[in-house]
Amino acid sequence: MILCAYPKAQFLSHQDEIVAAVRSVLDSGNYILGDEVAGFETEFAQYLGIGHAIGCASGTDALVLAMRAMDIGYGDEVIVPSHTATATVAAVALAGATPVFADIDPDFYTVDAKAVEAACTDRTKAIIAVHLYGQSADLDALQAIAHRRGLRLIEDCAQSAGASFRNRKLGTIGDIGCFSFFPTKNMGAFGDGGAVVCRDTELAARVQRLRQYGWDTDRVSLEPGMNSRLDELQAAILRVKLRYLDGDNAERRHQAGRYRSGLAGLPVSLPAEREGASHVYHLYVVRTPERDRLLDYLKQHEIIAGVHYTVPVHRMPAFRSDLRLPVTEKIVDEIISLPLYPGLDETAQSRVVSVIQNFFSETM
């Protein structure tokens, strides 16, 4: 069976180093906010080319901590795409703010800057730019809106670790960047984990304080905080994974190229790459009106594809809105995520392509 994602493959690729890193933590006797977390924070910041990285418990918490550190909360509005992982919107609600949905562009599926502009009100405090599927949102246009209106620009980099825009790593362009290390991500841990990155030293210090009860160095709470710590085991694993991130992303791009060649000429829309952006293909998402039939056909041939995402967040009961988002509402019935991950061999990928070719030859 060919799976859409298979995080175990990365463990098998770097098994000796990962096991050694975990063993080192277990032997150390220091399991919370020790040398491994500090080391990962330093190395991740250096990799991105930014001053500060603060580890936390998840990508969702990273977004919550970012908003709380920037005093975004009750009475404030934050503009978000509805076509995103639920975590993006849930984090806004957890911070106490109100999510305001904006539609996406039809080519890259990231939030549409014109829709963002139209959604701004005098209560708008921030824009969350979700770098979906592995490439940048339109940061030029979103930055211009943020600067003109005095808004904060938060980068949701959960799906784009290692990607860049105009030769700058994503997460370093807006006011603050938020990462998830969920196991299926481009740089995944083997449990939950996240990080917040920023240039501003005072902002970084506040995020660091908020992740642990608002404590100062004497464990006195200066403000209400959270318990959102990246643990030593996951940090040790991430330090290993970080060394291979660029190589793994290069493999993802190579696999995307094989799909592009193999699926050319078929009645499917292939992923577009934004000018000036490097795409790291967290997901390889194509579109076809025959999506549901294709999903079933692939499953019959023991190929498990995915859909990211089947229900827009503004149509979920917890966040339901009467707002019409026509592009978002159209594509969710047509998108399909094909298997792609480091370790997917050429034979398996060729099989996926062959089955898709057969599907369209039989249905056309």
pLDDT tens across 79-128, in order?
Answer: 999 999 999 999 999 999 999 999 999 999 999 999 999 999 999 999 99
Average pLDDT, the chain: 97
Q: Dihedral of CA 339/340/344/348: which sign?
A: positive
Residues 226 and 88 in one domain: yes
DSSP state of 313: G
Cα–Cα distance measured from residue 217 to residue 223, given in angstroms and rounded to the nearest whole number: 13
Q: Dihedral of CA 149/152/158/162: which sign?
A: positive
3-state secondary structure of 206: helix
**Six-digit token string for 47:** 């990799």
CB 356 within 8 A of CB 294: yes
Residues 6 or more apart from 324 whose CB is under 8 A from it?
none
Residues 67 and 207 in one domain: yes
**Residue 1 located in a structural domain:** no
Cα angle for residues 191, 246, 281 (degrees, 5° grid): 75
Cα–Cα distance measured from residue 98 to residue 74, given in angstroms and rounded to the nearest whole number: 8
Residues 26 and 146 in one domain: yes
Residues 181 and 272 in one domain: no
Quick one: average pLDDT of 228-243? Answer: 98
Give the chain's radius of gyration (CA, Å): 20
DSSP state of 252: H
Residues 133 and 239 in one domain: yes
Cα–Cα distance measured from residue 223 to residue 132, given in angstroms and rounded to the nearest whole number: 33
* Domain end among 243, 274, 290: 243
pLDDT tops 80 at residue 166: yes
**Residue 3 located in a structural domain:** no
pLDDT tops 90 at residue 271: yes
Residues 225 and 249 in one domain: no
Place of tokens 């849930």: 90
3-state secondary structure of 77: strand
What pLDDT score does 285 carry?
98
Residue 139 is part of which domain span? 8-102+109-243
DSSP state of 18: H
pLDDT tops 80 at residue 364: no
Counting the structural domains of the chain, the total is 2
* Domain end among 191, 214, 243: 243
At 222, which CATH number? 3.40.640.10
**Residue 334 located in a structural domain:** yes
**Residue 178 located in a structural domain:** yes
**Residue 158 located in a structural domain:** yes
What pLDDT score does 356 carry?
98
Phi, psi at residue 273, to the nearest 5°? -110, 125
Residues 317 and 171 in one domain: no
pLDDT tops 80 at residue 18: yes
What pLDDT score does 212 carry?
97
DSSP H or E stretch at residue 298? helix 291-300
Give residue 363's pLDDT band: very low, low, confident or very high (50, 70, 90): confident
* 153 beta partners: 127
Cα–Cα distance measured from residue 233 to residue 112, given in angstroms and rounded to the nearest whole number: 39
In tens, the pLDDT along 342-352 reads 999 999 999 99
At 302, which CATH number? 3.90.1150.10
Residues 234 and 265 in one domain: no
Residues 38 and 96 in one domain: yes
In tens, the pLDDT along 293-340 reads 999 999 999 999 999 999 999 999 999 999 999 999 999 999 999 999
Quick one: average pLDDT of 209-231? Answer: 96
Helix-then-strand count for the chain, H and E: 13, 12
**Residue 2 located in a structural domain:** no
For the whole model, what pTM was predicted? 0.97
Residues 239 and 266 in one domain: no
Residues 189 and 208 in one domain: yes
**Residue 279 located in a structural domain:** yes
3-state secondary structure of 123: coil
* Domain end among 182, 209, 243: 243
Give residue 362's pLDDT band: very low, low, confident or very high (50, 70, 90): confident
**Residue 41 located in a structural domain:** yes
What pLDDT score does 270 carry?
98
Residues 212 and 263 in one domain: no
**Six-digit token string for 143:** 């930055």
* 80 beta partners: 101
